[in-house]
Chain A
Amino acid sequence: DTGVSQDPRHKITKRGQNVTFRCDPISEHNRLYWYRQTLGQGPEFLTYFQNEAQLEKSRLLSDRFSAERPKGSFSTLEIQRTEQGDSAMYLCASSQRTGIESYNSPLHFGNGTRLTVT
């Protein structure tokens, strides 16, 4: 079990630039989640996938944000035209859900990508 891997760990970008983050979940996990965490807050849900299907997006996910999970394995989160308010830690998590009895499977988090928009 190599855990959830996120790349890069840190990203500094200028306002208006586009950035893309990658997440590699635990290999047998079919669910993948993106969260954002700002200082003094808990992680806030952005979106999640079951296999390659994006099943829900939070209202926090503005139209500048897009996420993909093309083959049901790794996922990317892209932010276009970054703003200073996008500065945050972006966390990816995965879990395995095969039936009702497993819906409470804990999420396994990666170490996040810290984005700084200057």
Chain B
Amino acid sequence: DQQVKQNSPSLSVQEGRISILNCDYTNSMFDYFLWYKKYPAEGPTFLISISSIKDKNEDGRFTVFLNKSAKHLSLHIVPSQPGDSAVYFCAAPAILNYGGSQGNLIFGKGTKLSVKP
């Protein structure tokens, strides 16, 4: 079973506060995770990633945390800005039968973030 789950369809946050987007996965063989951001009428844009050998990766206002024992990752945005309002997708490369990956990504359903001024 290879699934990536985002159980919160939407999140509303005040500008300047922290946004926390959550993602769970089912397969402990996943070894790399990515977050994409999508604006309406545009394709998803890569935001940040994390390898399973790390538990944190930071890039400016964006930090991703990985908890392998819980099969859970989260994206923190601090401080949140109105321009961050978008749909955020969590993704992981699909695992082939022999354990490798072809780079094809499995996506969650996304969380729509609204940052209010």
Binding site for B on A (CB under 8 A): 4, 31, 33, 40-45, 48, 55-56, 91, 93, 95, 97, 103-112
Contacts and interface: CB of A to CB of B under 8 A. Distances in A.
A110 B103 contact: no
B103 A42 contact: no
Contact of A43 (B6, B49, B100, B107): B107
A23 B104 CA distance: 17
A111 B42 contact: yes
Interface of B: 4, 6, 9, 32, 34, 36, 41-46, 49, 51, 89, 91, 93-94, 100-110
A83 to B, nearest CB: 23
21 contacts: A33-B103, A33-B104, A40-B109, A41-B109, A41-B110, A42-B4, A44-B107, A45-B94, A45-B105, A45-B106, A55-B102, A93-B43, A103-B93, A103-B100, A104-B51, A104-B103, A105-B103, A106-B46, A106-B49, A109-B36, A112-B42
B57 to A, nearest CB: 12
Contacts, number: 65
Contacts of A91: 43-44
A67 to B, nearest CB: 14
Task: Rank and list the top 5 A-B pairs by shortest CB-CB distance, nearest first.
Answer: A42-B107, A109-B43, A106-B46, A104-B32, A111-B43
